[in-house]
Amino acid sequence: MAARPKSNGHVLPNGNAKLNQVVEKIEEDIYQEENIFLFLPNIIGYARVVLAIASLYYMPLHPRTCSGLYSVSCLLDAADGIAARRYNQSTTFGAVLDMVTDRCTTSCLLVFLASAFPRWSIIFQGLISLDLASHYIHMYATLTMGSSGQSHKKVDSSRSWILHLYYTNRTVLFLFCLLNETFFIALYLLSFSSPLLSPSLLAINDPSGFQSTQPGSPAHPKPSTLFANPWSAGALEMARANKMDSTVPWIIAGVSAPVMAGKQVINVIQLIKASKWLGEGDVAARKKAFIAAGKKRA
């Protein structure tokens, strides 16, 4: 029995061009039917967005619920990457959705912390600016200076061994992102539970009616000014939130603080390296334009 001719690039040795066209048409139809917006990693990304929005809704008065929803949203950040690799569903849209979700959720939490601790708001504002600027310039530099289709997570070790380790080692990336968010969640819980950071927690029942203007919990006004009935669900939730124990949040903040600080150092390095990379491109482009202009004059 004669062996069946093997295909090489869909072109059969016997020159059967018609069969080749049929194969290509079938493959084209298969890929046209794909809807990347319904890939499993992207669906996980949508779930992250929904959970993040829900956490923002509960953020002012429900610290436990908010922290739970926010934490699950952050943990799903690792799940979408695992799903993308497992099912071969890595897409540019998914990568951008993942980064935008990370930046937006962290920024929203930092905005809340800035309102909870007004004295330190400039620090939180600086962290938001650094995070956004660092990742935007890094991604823009990758798109304009890198090879076609290059991921922002593909950093050559010769350009920065720190960024190379950070982006290529999944364990390092996961731990830094996780503990960075954990630190801010711990600060959020401390705004409801620590009189040391929130002095107004000690003055909620001030008989004089004077409410402390010091940086305190997000709920500066007395419960009676927010809720007509002091026994309403909202007033009781505020009282319950402000009676949280601060021991566990302090421990979490202490453990995660060094990693959070390291994450900010990485953001600074990323910002500097990406800026230099763009600068190299500008110098090369100007040099090329100068040489072209000289040839034109000649």
Let me know if residue 68 belongs to a domain: yes
pLDDT at 32: 62
pLDDT in tens, 119-140: 899 999 999 999 999 999 999 9
Let me know if residue 235 belongs to a domain: no
Half-sphere exposure of 10 (CA within 13 A, CB side): 12
What are the catalytic residues?
A: 102
Strand partners, 11: 8
Instruction: Give dist(CA 54, CA 49) in Å, integer.
Output: 9
Greater confidence (91 vs 28) lies with: 91
User: Mean pLDDT across the stretch 177-200?
Assistant: 89
Categorize the per-residue pLDDT at 3 as very low, low, confident or very high, splitting at 50, 70 and 90: very low
**Structure-token pair, residue 192:** 């409801």
**Structure-token pair, residue 280:** 């190299």
Let me know if residue 211 belongs to a domain: no
Residue 112 reports pLDDT greater than 50: yes
Categorize the per-residue pLDDT at 179 as very low, low, confident or very high, splitting at 50, 70 and 90: very high
CATH number at residue 174: 1.20.120
Let me know if residue 268 belongs to a domain: yes
**Structure-token pair, residue 160:** 């920065």
Cβ count near 251 (within 10 Å) = 11
User: Mean pLDDT across the stretch 165-186?
Assistant: 93
pLDDT in tens, 223-240: 555 555 666 666 666 666
Let me know if residue 55 belongs to a domain: yes
Let me know if residue 48 belongs to a domain: yes
Instruction: Give dist(CA 13, CA 5) in Å, integer.
Output: 7
Q: Which domain holds residue 94?
A: 36-198+242-284
Instruction: Give dist(CA 1, CA 103) in Å, integer.
Output: 63
pLDDT at 54: 96
What secondary structure, in 3-state letters, does the chain show?
CCCCCCCECCECCCCCHHHHHHHHHHHHHHHHCCCHHHCHHHHHHHHHHHHHHHHHHHCCCCHHHHHHHHHHHHHHHHHHHHHHHHCCCCCHHHHHHHHHHHHHHHHHHHHHHHHHCHHHHHHHHHHHHHHHHHHHHHHHHHHHHCCCCCCCCCCCCCCCHHHHHHHHCHHHHHHHHHHHHHHHHHHHHHHHHCCCCCHHHHHCCCCCCCCCCCCCCCCCCCHHHHCCCCCCHHHHHHHHHCCCCCHHHHHHHHHHHHHHHHHHHHHHHHHHHHHHHHHHHHHHHHHHHHHHHHHHHC
pLDDT in tens, 76-104: 998 998 999 999 999 989 989 999 999 99
How many independent structural domains does the chain possess?
Answer: 1
Let me know if residue 228 belongs to a domain: no
